[in-house]
């Protein structure tokens, strides 16, 4: 009988005891709102911002309600207006173009490469079409950030980094989110720290930080932030920046602070699992493993396989056969969005665009989560199942 995997691809690890105790402390005193603090108390959210800023080497940090809110706030804070065009990846998840649409701007999609990163040649060709790039490090893949920043700096393009999948990653030792003007991170359940929902926003620009804090709904209480610019940075922006409330609360911040302290350990655990799966899939006929560049420090919380130029029915057969053996794979090829696997042509609030190079690659991307609830033995078994089913379908079609 063929072996079958019985684990869950959606079950997360329990929160660490330190996070549970911190949450209980907040619930016991009841001061959940970030600005509701006792005399002399700094507040969990302000401390989280201070600690995360230090962790990634940023001057300023703001904790908000979600990663998507962080991206929309970044767009507003750098001056994107209704009708502006914003460059972004063709391969990303819906909240990224959604953040662009939410401010009334128009996404302009840039091709994806077989390394699953933004196509820098296409970016250079489109650099005159917008003044802002919302760069998505989709599924944790970092492009050549040195070359990307050179292209954008030469063209006067402001870079906002979507780091939902790269908290803890780096390019040439520079933490993800620290090359552009703003870095945006997600703390949603399936990201690298878990508060259910939540986001973090970092920048070194005092005016951008001040605008973001006002946008988040600070009610002129910006002096209660520990990772904010000085009061003079708010003198003008506090009168002209609307309140679009999206603050993080002290309960979620309390849950996150111990997890951020453990992030390096968690990254090593994810990568150990990723590497077992990657090794087990190498040399599988018809399957391409996405190679990671030496300059990239990655976080293997998910893995992507390329079944390039496969017929759609054969690829769907692989997914069905793996599912029958307990392995959940997601595909970015269907013409209609399924769960989180929507594509640039699914987002009909954006103008129709033709990207045949990206279409070919998207049609071959298969995606799988790598939860920390999996053991290394689980990962080896998953790889064996995928390899067996891909090989069987490939050989039958050959």
Are 270 and 362 in the same domain?
yes
Inside any domain, residue 160: yes
Are 242 and 96 in the same domain?
yes
Are 255 and 293 in the same domain?
no
Which pairing describes strands 132-136 and 158-162: parallel, antiparallel, or unpaired? parallel
CATH number at residue 311: 3.90.1150.10
Residue 1 in this model has a pLDDT that exceeds 70: no
Residue 25 in this model has a pLDDT that exceeds 60: yes
pLDDT in tens, 175-215: 999 999 999 999 999 999 999 999 999 999 999 999 999 99
Q: What is the pLDDT of residue 198?
A: 98
Q: Is the dihedral of CA 362, 167, 98, 152 positive or negative?
A: negative
The residue out of 225, 242, 261 marking a domain boundary is 261
Inside any domain, residue 133: yes
Are 169 and 96 in the same domain?
yes
pLDDT in tens, 112-143: 999 999 999 999 999 999 999 999 999 999 99
Residue 367 in this model has a pLDDT that exceeds 80: yes
Inside any domain, residue 332: yes
> How large a percentage of the chain has pLDDT more than 90?
96
Q: Pick from 199, 190, 175: which is nearest to 72 by CA?
A: 199
pLDDT in tens, 297-313: 999 999 999 999 999 99
The residue out of 261, 294, 325 marking a domain boundary is 261
Q: What is the pLDDT of residue 336?
A: 85
Are 231 and 290 in the same domain?
no
Inside any domain, residue 2: no
Average the pLDDT over 11-21 and give the result.
96
When pLDDT is cut at 50, 70 and 90, the band that residue 398 belongs to is confident
CATH number at residue 86: 3.40.640.10
Helix (H) or strand (E) holding 390, with range, is helix 376-397
pLDDT in tens, 145-165: 999 999 999 999 999 999 999
Are 86 and 154 in the same domain?
yes
Domain count for the chain, please give it. 2
DSSP 3-state of 121: helix
Q: How many CB atoms lie within 10 A of CB 19?
A: 21
Contact between 256 and 198 (Cβ < 8 Å):
yes
Average pLDDT, the chain: 97
Are 255 and 271 in the same domain?
no
Q: What is the pLDDT of residue 340?
A: 86
Q: Is pTM, for the whole model, over 0.75? A: yes
Inside any domain, residue 228: yes
CA distance 162 to 164: 6
- Structural domain containing residue 57: 17-261
Q: What is the pLDDT of residue 338?
A: 87
DSSP state of 133: E
Inside any domain, residue 3: no
Are 140 and 271 in the same domain?
no
Average the pLDDT over 332-345 and give the result.
88
Q: What is the pLDDT of residue 199?
A: 98
Are 254 and 280 in the same domain?
no
> How large a percentage of the chain has pLDDT more than 70?
100
State the maximum Cα–Cα separation within the chain, in Å, rounded to a whole number: 73
Q: What is the pLDDT of residue 212?
A: 98
Are 270 and 336 in the same domain?
yes
Rg (CA), the chain: 22
Average the pLDDT over 78-103 and give the result.
97
């Amino acid at each position: 009988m063929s072996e079958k995997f019985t684990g869950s691809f959606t079950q997360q690890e329990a929160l660490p005891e330190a996070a549970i105790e911190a949450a209980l402390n907040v619930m016991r005193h009841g001061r959940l709102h970030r600005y509701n603090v006792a005399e002399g108390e700094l507040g969990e959210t302000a401390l989280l911002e201070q600690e995360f800023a230090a962790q990634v080497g940023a001057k300023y940090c703001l904790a908000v309600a979600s990663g998507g809110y962080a991206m929309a706030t970044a767009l507003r804070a750098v001056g994107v207006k209704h009708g502006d065009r914003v460059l972004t990846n063709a391969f990303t998840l819906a909240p990224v173009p959604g953040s662009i649409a939410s401010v009334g701007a128009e996404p302009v999609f840039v091709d994806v490469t077989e390394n699953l990163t933004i196509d820098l040649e296409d970016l250079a060709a489109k650099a005159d079409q917008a003044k802002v790039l919302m760069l998505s490090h989709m599924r944790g893949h970092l492009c050549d950030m040195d070359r990307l920043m050179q292209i954008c700096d030469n063209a006067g393009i402001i870079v906002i980094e979507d780091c939902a999948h790269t908290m803890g990653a780096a390019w040439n030792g520079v933490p993800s989110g620290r090359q552009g003007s703003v870095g945006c991170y997600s703390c949603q359940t399936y990201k690298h720290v878990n508060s259910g929902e939540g986001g973090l926003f970092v920048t070194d620009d005092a005016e951008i930080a001040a605008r973001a804090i006002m946008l988040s709904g600070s009610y002129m209480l910006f002096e209660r932030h520990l990772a904010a610019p000085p009061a003079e940075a708010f003198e003008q922006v506090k009168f002209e920046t609307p309140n679009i409330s999206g603050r993080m609360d002290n309960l979620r911040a309390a849950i996150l602070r111990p997890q951020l302290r453990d992030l390096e350990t968690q990254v090593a655990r994810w990568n150990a699992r990723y590497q077992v799966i990657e090794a087990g899939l190498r040399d599988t006929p018809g399957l391409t493993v996405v190679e990671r560049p030496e300059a990239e420090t990655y976080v293997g919380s998910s893995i992507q396989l390329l079944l390039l130029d496969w017929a759609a029915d054969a690829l769907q057969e692989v997914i069905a056969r793996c599912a029958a053996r307990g392995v959940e794979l997601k595909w970015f090829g269907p013409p209609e969005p399924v769960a989180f696997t929507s594509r640039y042509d699914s987002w009909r609030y954006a103008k129709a665009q033709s990207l045949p190079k990206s279409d070919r690659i998207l049609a071959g991307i298969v995606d799988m989560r790598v939860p920390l609830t999996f053991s290394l033995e689980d990962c080896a078994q998953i790889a064996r199942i995928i390899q067996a089913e891909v090989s069987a379908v490939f050989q039958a079609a050959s």
